[in-house]
Amino acid sequence: MATRIEKIFRTNTINTMNLILNEVSECVENLKKQKQISKHNIADSLMKVAQTIDKFFIKHNISDEEITNAIKKGK
């Protein structure tokens, strides 16, 4: 039987990964348009990716311990 965290990941991971990939694609496109790569722009994009992942965990009340246990169980 799947654990709570496995069910959450199964049903929401695709959407979250899509949001992250959109952020990364936007960052890459912006970098292509510029002659110089700004560390600030890269940092902003990385922050958006981190916030997207963090919101996912907060929304579903997932702790670091649950993630660690799910990874160990999957091995």
CA atoms of 44 and 47, how far apart (whole Å): 5
Q: How confident is the model at residue 26 (pLDDT cuts 50, 70, 90)?
A: confident
pTM reported for the whole predicted model: 0.62
Triad 22, 9, 59: Cα angle to 5°: 75
User: In the numeric block, which tokens belong to residue 50?
Assistant: 């981190």
Q: What is the largest CA-CA distance in the chain?
A: 53
33-62 pLDDT, tens digit per residue, is 876 667 887 888 888 888 888 888 888 888
34: enclosing H helix or E strand: none
